[in-house]
Structure 1
Amino acid sequence: MLSTPMTDTQTLPVIDVAPLVAGAPGRVGVATQIGAACRAHGFFYVTGHGVDAALVRRLEDLSHRFFELPEATKMQWRMALGGRAWRGFFPLGGELTSGRPDWKEGLYLGAELPASHPLVQAKTPVHGPNLFPDVPGLRETILAYMAAVTQLGHRLMEGIALSLGLPAAYFAERYTADPLILLRLFNYPSQPVPEGLDVQWGVGEHTDYGLLTLLHQDQVGGLAVHTPGGWIDAPPIPGSFVCNIGDMLDRMTGGLYKSTPHRVKRNTSGRDRLSFPLFFDPNFEARVQRIEGLSGAQARDDSAERWDRANVHAFNGRYGDYLLAKVSKVFPQLRDEVL
């Protein structure tokens, strides 16, 4: 697929990243397109990414099988059983954005670590084993999908580094040699919200926390992005991932690449909607620092303009500290387990 021009702020650009994935000479041109997209609106589609389409379809099929189970069955893998690893299933309305329940259910996953792993032994939050539902083939498919999309994340971060005039390995050497990987399988059912439940959106307005999000969405759609020109839809493009930058890349670039607010409409399509965001983030222990010498970076306090009134440029510390502060608001009932 050909890449779209970068001049239209009412549509998100589509970037063929095949040269970047292959390490081919054309990767510098791809990086230039990524940089333009990050400056314009912080969101872009990628094609030519090399993730097996059959693997994605298999994950969709198996996810539908899981979410079609009775809620009582799915609660066998509820998040409360995941403890500090912050893994497992949550039911409809079980996740909050800005204090309001989202109209979705989901399965929280991450890098699979055994109980014997040093980080798990040290009780490091958001590290540990997954709670894999008893759906034949789902465990293997999730792990294969995470591995493939994580590799794509490494290549895209190389492109982002090049787009900033940095060595391709800049982020890997400082933050993502061992990235914090979190995967979500979300289901947005097409069913009415019960009376009395304060639900407005599938997911309310928010920004992502870390470096880069790689999202597969099915053909139902519903994602909307708050660009400088206003809210626009990000409709599904077959065979693509939607990518967006997070708060930590905003901080690292001094606001040159902004983490962009986005939300998901309530699903009224008549059929369930699936989306699979994978969060490619700095290592939990990484100390996030501003990149020095970037032309155009300001690092100004833009909290008055942000959805959460937070100043990401004032943050100083481990990435894990930033993440946990956010976790405690999304799942307040799990705060004592994770923090």
Structure 2
Amino acid sequence: MNHTSETHAALPIIDVSALITDSSAEALQTVADRIRNACRAHGFFYVSGHGVDSALIQRLEMLSRRFFALDEQEKMRWRMALGGRAWRGYFPLGGELTSGRPDWKEGLYLGTELADDHPLVLAATPVHGRNLFPDVPAFREAILQYMEAVTTLGQALMRGIALSLELPANYFESRYTADPLILFRIFNYPSQDVPKDMDVQWGVGEHTDYGLLTILLQDQIGGLQVKTPGGWTDATPVPNTFICNIGDMLERMTGGWYRSTAHRVVRNTSGTDRLSFPLFFDPNYFSRVHPIEGLPHVPDADDSASRWDKENVHAFNGIYGDYLLNKVSKVFPQLRQEVL
């Protein structure tokens, strides 16, 4: 394996169409090499050539703005407290915490739609169940179609990540993601002043993501920042792309060869509300995540001293669901008893 690392002034844009179509081994290797360099340099990269229908994206954005324009009392009809163990629904401004401090955003928590008689729902498995779909016309259909399309993209990107590590293309799917845990969020960052009695500094405070891969659609306003060795770098919106970043479980699997990079979102002062749509493509809830054999040894794999949460992801032992619940219960402490 050619273990090179590149330093980029900006986050790279990678055309991943070769992963979507029936492409040559040479074309696939070119994409894999670029993914490897991006994961080694920053853990973040844009993807173009992703195959997700632009009309679907535009429809989802339009319907999301229509939902967030409702009065808060109306939006609270779908509040997360009604979602129970499925951990779905709406939360209001300041209702989500990062490192114990409220973020200045509101949002809708969603995930794979499971019927009440699904075995995982009958077993009361946390973060599995029905969504609380607002009754904005056509919103439900747009959300489900979008999640399906981006989950398909996620499987393709994980094939590229496997190839970047010189593993079989189906390495992750055969072990962790044949039935991935899909969590989807629609966030609105309003351009309005924060009440003086609220301890708010950021749209979202510094954090890393928990699973394998985050696939983020952001609108044209921007605000996402990535922590790099040279300081915080703006992840400026690029039309017709998603921005992807690796999560804690991929760092654990690679023994720190690929890092889960900290990021944050600045408060929106643009004068226009900002939308973002992160889809978390994660291991199956019951997966036990193991290090990949044969990768280079990383002597400083334990980076807990510099991590935002001071945790050593390489010391975790258990199923992925345990790791996830430990994290999300700190984001919404008032709902903690629902899933723990």
TM-score for the superposition, normalised by structure 1: 0.97
- Aligned partner of 1:147 in structure 2 is 148
Give ranges in structure 1 of 5+ residues lacking alignment.
Answer: 1-5
Q: How far is 1:8 from its partner?
A: 4.3
- Aligned partner of 1:138 in structure 2 is 139
| 1:44 maps to 2:45 | yes
- Aligned partner of 2:302 in structure 1 is 301
For 1:302, the aligned partner's letter is D
Q: How far is 1:301 from its partner?
A: 1.8
Cα 1:298/1:179, change in 2 over 3 Å: farther
Q: How far is 1:23 from its partner?
A: 3.4
Q: How far is 1:7 from its partner?
A: 4.2
CA distance in 1, matches of 2:90, 2:116: 20
- Aligned partner of 1:273 in structure 2 is 274
The answer as to whether partners of 1:256 and 1:298 remain within 8 angstroms in 2 is no
Q: How far is 1:295 from its partner?
A: 2.0
* Root mean square deviation, CA, Å: 0.9
For 2:170, the aligned partner's letter is A
For 2:228, the aligned partner's letter is T
Q: How far is 1:126 from its partner?
A: 0.1
Q: How far is 1:10 from its partner?
A: 2.7
CA distance in 2, matches of 1:301, 1:292: 18
- Aligned partner of 2:129 in structure 1 is 128
For 1:305, the aligned partner's letter is S
The answer as to whether partners of 1:254 and 1:299 remain within 8 angstroms in 2 is no
- Aligned partner of 2:235 in structure 1 is 234
CA distance in 1, matches of 2:299, 2:332: 33
1:88-167 matches, within 5 Å, as: 88-167=89-168
- Aligned partner of 1:335 in structure 2 is 336
CA distance in 2, matches of 1:298, 1:16: 32
CA distance in 1, matches of 2:157, 2:16: 8
CA distance in 2, matches of 1:328, 1:287: 20
CA distance in 2, matches of 1:215, 1:338: 26
Residue range with higher mean Cα deviation, 288-297 or 141-150: 288-297
Displaced runs of 4 or more, over 4 A: none
Residue range with higher mean Cα deviation, 18-27 or 108-117: 18-27
Q: Secondary structure at the match of 1:334?
A: helix
Q: Secondary structure at the match of 2:175?
A: helix
| 1:13 maps to 2:17 | no
Q: Secondary structure at the match of 2:162?
A: helix
Q: How far is 1:246 from its partner?
A: 0.1
CA distance in 2, matches of 1:139, 1:96: 27
The answer as to whether partners of 1:288 and 1:318 remain within 8 angstroms in 2 is yes
Residue range with higher mean Cα deviation, 71-80 or 291-300: 291-300
Q: How far is 1:298 from its partner?
A: 4.1
Q: Secondary structure at the match of 1:61?
A: helix
CA distance in 2, matches of 1:81, 1:101: 21
Give ranges in structure 2 of 5+ residues lacking alignment.
Answer: none
The answer as to whether partners of 2:194 and 2:200 remain within 8 angstroms in 1 is yes
Residues 48-105 of structure 1: per-residue CA shift (max 9 Å, x gap): 0000001000000000000000000000000000000000000000000000000000
Question: Percent same amino acid among aligned pairs?
Answer: 72
The answer as to whether partners of 1:74 and 1:89 remain within 8 angstroms in 2 is yes
Cα 1:152/1:298, change in 2 over 3 Å: farther
Q: How far is 1:196 from its partner?
A: 1.4
CA distance in 2, matches of 1:183, 1:235: 21
- Aligned partner of 2:199 in structure 1 is 198
Q: How far is 1:297 from its partner?
A: 3.7
For 2:11, the aligned partner's letter is L
The answer as to whether partners of 1:79 and 1:86 remain within 8 angstroms in 2 is yes
Residues 299-330 of structure 1: per-residue CA shift (max 9 Å, x gap): 73210010110000000110000000001100
For 1:290, the aligned partner's letter is P
CA distance in 2, matches of 1:131, 1:227: 37
TM-score for the superposition, normalised by structure 2: 0.97
CA distance in 1, matches of 2:320, 2:300: 18
CA distance in 2, matches of 1:299, 1:310: 14
CA distance in 1, matches of 2:267, 2:301: 34
Cα 1:299/1:253, change in 2 over 3 Å: farther
CA distance in 2, matches of 1:301, 1:203: 25
- Aligned partner of 2:262 in structure 1 is 261
For 1:194, the aligned partner's letter is P
Residue range with higher mean Cα deviation, 296-305 or 26-35: 296-305
For 1:239, the aligned partner's letter is N
